[in-house]
């Protein structure tokens, strides 16, 4: 669902693998930065919280949250942090 939300306005889609890799590495997929901007700015907090929770199962506690913040900062996006953290 997160990939669909991130790709709705774009010709190419963001794959689940690209999304997971980005959240685990803290670096958006090259050429798909706009997908991450759309996801962070437009996705409901519950979706971001669920995504962080699911991907967080594969990483140390707090790593995915920090990487999402890192991606947002790098893209110049203001993340609605308080909203998705409550949902995670």
The predicted-structure confidence for 19-73, as pLDDT tens digits, reads as follows 999 999 999 999 999 999 999 988 888 889 999 999 999 999 899 999 999 999 9
**Residue whose pair of structure tokens reads 């774009």 in the numeric block:** 10
By residue range, what is the domain housing residue 40? 16-87
Domain count, the chain: 1
pLDDT at 86: 54
Whether 8 shows a pLDDT value over 70: the answer reads no
- Specify if 54 maps to a domain: yes
Residue 10 — very low, low, confident or very high, per pLDDT cuts 50/70/90?
Answer: confident
The answer to whether the pTM exceeds 0.85 is: no
- Specify if 43 maps to a domain: yes
Contacts of 32 (CB under 8 A, 6+ apart): 12, 14, 18
- Specify if 4 maps to a domain: no
Residue 2 — very low, low, confident or very high, per pLDDT cuts 50/70/90?
Answer: low
Q: How many residues are present in the chain?
A: 88
- Specify if 24 maps to a domain: yes
> How far is it, in rounded angstroms, from Cα 39 to Cα 58?
21
């Amino acid at each position: 669902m997160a990939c669909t939300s991130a790709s709705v306005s774009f010709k190419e889609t963001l794959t689940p693998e690209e999304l997971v890799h980005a959240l685990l590495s803290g670096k958006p997929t090259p050429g798909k930065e706009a997908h991450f901007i759309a996801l962070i700015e437009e996705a409901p907090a519950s979706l971001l919280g669920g995504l962080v929770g699911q991907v967080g199962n594969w990483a140390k506690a707090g790593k995915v949250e920090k990487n999402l913040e890192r991606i947002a900062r790098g893209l110049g996006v203001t993340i609605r942090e308080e909203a998705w953290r409550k949902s995670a």
